[in-house]
């Protein structure tokens, strides 16, 4: 027989349950965060690429390029000393002609000028003859016959291998396009590179006389990033259909005597081949500079070269750049390593990068690799955090971080490859925090539900303490001075008889009574220990310490009497509306202070946060004495001494049932304000006088004083009756001669 259950499919409810279970632990917001981060990584906005560039700067700062010796490039520097001795810039171009002649004579491989000569030399004699107003005709003719400085400079350029600087211009206005037609063509290998090169509308070139004499011309324009740092330099740009080489690239072409080949594929430019060696670039023809530390020894003062005092070995066989480090000429740039570098330093670094083939690489597939890393790391955390917990996955996150940072550092140091792991790690940390926060929030919500539930059984402060420190849920206790309260309804049996056919009504009545009483205890920082039918046991100074626990307990007791009066007024109105008998609720409250054991008491299977000690028992006995003395609140001496300004009256020296030691007890009637009332002061003085007569066995005077007290305040009737009966007993049976005045109670 075939088991039909084999053909059963899981119900839709089962799948919904699995989905809901999987979605817990913050996975949904973490998924949303990861999706947004992945989209942002693909779109790669400016702020993100700028942040990535800053990370790559840190790579270079921690491990700059080690320069190879001998260095292939030197700079003839128009420095402050040259300007001081030869005059302000621009110099007569006859000076530059001398510079080129002496550099060529020293055996330089090629000379590149990191500057423009877009106008004729105004200091040339023929230019001066036209520019000086009022010059005598004879002098004018003599000046015009002198050789042109531009001609002298052009002759020196023609007799050397010189590459002049040109600049691409983002605007046609002000551009001259001089020498554009003299720029040699590139050989092409692959597709047309022009669509991948940045297009400029115009060129600023050098005057024809100089440009025609030069062996080459190259861009001195530098692309600064958003923060002003030069990180990438294009080896070529274009103006229309004309490809413009960089200064460094054309210097290498002139130095090697070989044409430059541009290699491309369907994605863009692969690189530039110089003398058979491929210089790899990004798809837009830019090269990432790998900077070495700035070396001022590579800079030779132009003054020394012009004067012919420089050591020829410093220039022999070198790629020579002519630039300036003088602050006043404002050709200062920033690199990842140093700010305020001479602009010519970037061309020096580029030439050394190409010459030593020590480039930085960032292939296009690296971005896909980084995106995949973000995806996989984020998904791993989303899946594992709710399953393995925050601590275990934190270890995983640390492992991933160390591995990623170590790998990217390895590839940079040994392969010069730029891999950015910072974004992946940042998103991973955000996903982890999101997951942990969601779990924490879920735990807090669960804790809140537990706290709300247990607050119906325990003091809110105790619940808060237990929820914050579950470790305290162990057996054991500590010694602490505390104040204890017992509160009980008087004649509750009689009240219960009125509800013998309505037990629900009796329960409702008890709840109405316990609610305001409990409210006042908790409001005054007390802890409910337990309810015993119509009785309440509470204590102060635990679980939280409270320096004014005696005062708080007394205030709570007084307010409980006030709230009880309000409840009785409501009950009276209800009884009158329902036309039934009314019996007011009356309570007795006993307060006592002493040292006891407080903590988790019970068995290994179950325990309560409660108290043990003799002061607790005394508080219970004092509550029982309230019906004997006619006072709603009776305090032990240890409690009364802490609130001397309250309205209290000494009642007796009593040894409660079950105890041999006697204590003074006090009736509490009110707070400090009540203690200032004339009626209370008179009653207190009368009772103090009575007790003095009573303890001295002056029975007749004591009885007279009792009569006075009864006439003064009928509410003291029980107190008067109690002592009147005692005195009458003592009159018949006098106490022993060594009587200490202690009354030994026979009832609780």
pLDDT tens-digit readout, 649-707 = 999 999 887 777 889 999 999 999 999 999 999 999 999 999 999 999 999 999 999 99
CB atoms within 10 A of CB 122: 12
Per-residue pLDDT at 467 exceeds 70: no
Judged by DSSP in three states, 610 sits in: strand
The predicted model gives 194-203 an average pLDDT of: 95
Q: Pseudo-torsion of CA 683, 689, 690, 693, nearest 10°?
A: 180
Q: What is the pLDDT of residue 135?
A: 66
The predicted model gives 93-114 an average pLDDT of: 96
CATH of the structural domain 471-671, one choice from 3.30.70.1230, 3.40.50.300, 3.40.630.30, 3.30.1490.100: 3.30.70.1230
Place 470 in a pLDDT band, splitting at 50, 70 and 90: low
Per-residue pLDDT at 46 exceeds 70: yes
pLDDT greater at residue 437 or residue 631: 631
Most confident of 24-38, 126-140, 696-710: 696-710
Judged by DSSP in three states, 124 sits in: coil
- Residue 493 tokens read as 């049996």
Judge whether 82 and 88 are in contact, CB under 8 Å.
Answer: no
The predicted model gives 628-635 an average pLDDT of: 94
Judge whether 661 and 654 are in contact, CB under 8 Å.
Answer: no
Closest Cα partner for 299 from 333, 329, 341, 336?
A: 341
Place 420 in a pLDDT band, splitting at 50, 70 and 90: very high
Please report, for the chain, the start and end positions of each structural domain, with discontinuous segments joined by +. Answer: 24-61+365-443, 70-356, 471-671, 677-748
Per-residue pLDDT at 644 exceeds 50: yes
pLDDT tens-digit readout, 241-280:
999 999 999 999 999 999 999 999 999 999 999 988 999 9
Query: In sequence order, which residues have a C-beta less than 8 Å from that of residue 348 and are 6 or more positions away?
Result: 73, 75, 298, 321
pTM of the model: 0.62
Q: How far is CA 160 from CA 155, 545, 733, in A?
A: 9, 94, 144
Q: What is the pLDDT of residue 256?
A: 94
Mean pLDDT, all residues of the chain: 88
Q: What is the pLDDT of residue 472?
A: 53
Per-residue pLDDT at 34 exceeds 80: yes
Q: What is the pLDDT of residue 659?
A: 74
Query: In sequence order, which residues have a C-beta less than 8 Å from that of residue 295 and are 6 or more positions away?
Result: 67, 71
Judge whether 489 and 571 are in contact, CB under 8 Å.
Answer: no
Q: What is the pLDDT of residue 471?
A: 54
Place 477 in a pLDDT band, splitting at 50, 70 and 90: confident
Per-residue pLDDT at 21 exceeds 60: no
Per-residue pLDDT at 158 exceeds 60: yes
Q: What is the pLDDT of residue 6?
A: 46
pLDDT tens-digit readout, 303-321:
999 999 999 999 999 999 9
The predicted model gives 150-176 an average pLDDT of: 94
Q: d(Cα 514, Cα 590) in Å, to the nearest integer? A: 16
Place 458 in a pLDDT band, splitting at 50, 70 and 90: low
Q: What is the pLDDT of residue 318?
A: 96
Q: d(Cα 119, Cα 443) in Å, to the nearest integer? A: 77
Judged by DSSP in three states, 440 sits in: helix
pLDDT greater at residue 10 or residue 519: 519
Place 17 in a pLDDT band, splitting at 50, 70 and 90: very low
Per-residue pLDDT at 502 exceeds 90: no
Per-residue pLDDT at 192 exceeds 80: yes
Helices 678-695 and 717-732 cross at an angle (nearest 10°) of 10
Backbone angles phi, psi at 736, to 5 degrees: -65, 160
Closest Cα partner for 522 from 544, 490, 547?
A: 544
Q: From its phi and psi, is residue 618 left (phi > 0), alpha (psi between -120 and 50) or beta?
A: alpha
Q: What is the pLDDT of residue 2?
A: 44
The predicted model gives 222-242 an average pLDDT of: 92
The predicted model gives 356-376 an average pLDDT of: 91
Q: What is the pLDDT of residue 452?
A: 67
């Amino acid at each position: 027989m075939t088991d039909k259950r084999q053909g059963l499919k899981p119900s839709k409810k089962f799948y919904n349950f699995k989905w809901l279970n999987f979605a817990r632990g913050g996975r949904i917001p973490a998924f949303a965060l990861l999706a947004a981060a992945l989209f942002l990584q693909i779109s790669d906005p400016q702020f993100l690429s700028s942040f990535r560039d800053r990370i790559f700067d840190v790579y270079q700062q921690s491990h700059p390029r080690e320069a190879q010796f001998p260095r292939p490039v030197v700079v003839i520097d128009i420095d402050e000393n040259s300007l001081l001795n030869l005059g302000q810039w621009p110099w007569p171009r006859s000076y530059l002609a001398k510079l080129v002649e002496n550099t060529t004579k020293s055996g330089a491989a090629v000379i590149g000028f990191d500057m423009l000569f877009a106008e004729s030399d105004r200091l040339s004699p023929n230019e001066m003859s036209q520019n000086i107003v009022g010059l005598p005709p004879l002098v004018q003719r003599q000046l015009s016959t002198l050789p042109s400085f531009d001609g002298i400079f052009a002759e020196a350029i023609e007799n050397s291998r010189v590459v002049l600087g040109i600049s691409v211009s983002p605007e046609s206005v002000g551009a001259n396009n001089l020498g554009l037609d003299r720029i040699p063509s590139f050989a092409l290998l692959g597709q047309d590179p022009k669509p991948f090169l940045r297009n400029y509308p115009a060129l600023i070139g050098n005057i024809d006389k100089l440009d025609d004499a030069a062996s080459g011309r190259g861009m001195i324009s530098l692309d600064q990033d958003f923060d002003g740092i030069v990180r990438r330099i294009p080896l070529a740009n274009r103006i229309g259909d004309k490809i413009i080489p960089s200064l460094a690239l054309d210097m290498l072409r002139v130095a090697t005597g070989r044409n430059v080949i541009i290699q491309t594929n369907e994605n863009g430019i692969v690189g530039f081949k110089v003398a058979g060696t491929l210089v790899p670039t990004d798809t837009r023809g830019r090269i990432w500079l790998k900077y070495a530390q700035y070396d001022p020894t590579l800079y030779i003062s132009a003054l020394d070269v012009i004067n012919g005092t420089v050591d020829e070995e410093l220039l022999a066989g070198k790629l020579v750049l002519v630039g300036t480090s003088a602050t006043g000429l404002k050709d200062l740039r920033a690199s990842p390593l140093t700010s305020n570098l001479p602009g010519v330093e970037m061309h020096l670094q580029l030439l050394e990068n190409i010459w030593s083939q020590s480039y930085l690489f960032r292939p296009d597939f690296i971005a896909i690799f980084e995106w995949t890393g973000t995806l996989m790391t984020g998904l791993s955390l989303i899946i594992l955090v709710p399953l393995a917990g925050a601590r275990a996955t934190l270890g995983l996150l640390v492992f991933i971080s160390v591995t990623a940072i170590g790998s990217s550092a390895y590839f940079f140091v040994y392969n010069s490859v730029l891999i950015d792991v910072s974004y992946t790690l940042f998103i991973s940390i955000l996903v982890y925090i999101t997951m942990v926060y969601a779990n924490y929030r879920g735990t807090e919500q669960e804790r809140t539900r537990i706290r709300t539930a247990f607050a119906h059984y325990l003091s809110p402060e105790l619940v808060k303490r237990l929820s914050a420190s579950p470790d305290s849920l162990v057996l054991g206790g500590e010694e602490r001075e505390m104040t204890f309260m017992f509160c009980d309804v008087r004649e509750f049996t009689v009240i219960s008889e009125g509800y013998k056919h309505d037990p629900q009504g009796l329960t409702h009545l008890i709840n109405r009574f316990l609610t305001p009483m409990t409210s006042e205890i908790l409001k005054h920082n007390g802890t409910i220990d337990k309810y015993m039918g119509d009785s309440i046991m509470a204590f102060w100074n635990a679980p939280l310490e409270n320096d004014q626990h005696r005062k708080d307990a007394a205030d709570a007791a007084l307010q409980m009497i006030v709230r009880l009066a309000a409840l009785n007024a409501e009950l009276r109105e209800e009884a009158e509306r329902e036309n039934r008998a009314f019996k007011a609720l009356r309570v007795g409250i006993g307060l006592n202070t002493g040292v006891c054991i407080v903590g988790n008491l019970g068995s290994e299977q179950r325990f309560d946060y409660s108290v043990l000690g003799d002061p607790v028992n005394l508080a219970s006995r004092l509550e029982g004495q309230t019906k004997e003395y006619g006072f709603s609140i009776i305090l032990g001496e240890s409690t009364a001494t802490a609130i001397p300004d309250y309205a209290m009256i000494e009642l007796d020296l009593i040894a409660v049932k079950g105890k041999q030691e006697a204590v003074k007890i006090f009736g509490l009637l009110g707070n400090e304000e009540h203690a200032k009332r004339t009626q209370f002061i008179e009653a207190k003085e009368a009772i103090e006088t009575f007790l003095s007569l009573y303890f001295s066995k002056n029975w007749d005077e004591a009885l007279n004083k009792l009569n006075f007290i009864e006439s003064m305040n009928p509410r003291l009737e029980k107190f008067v009756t109690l002592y009147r009966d005692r005195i009458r007993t003592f009159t018949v049976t006098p106490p022993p001669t060594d009587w200490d005045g202690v009354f030994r109670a026979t009832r609780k």
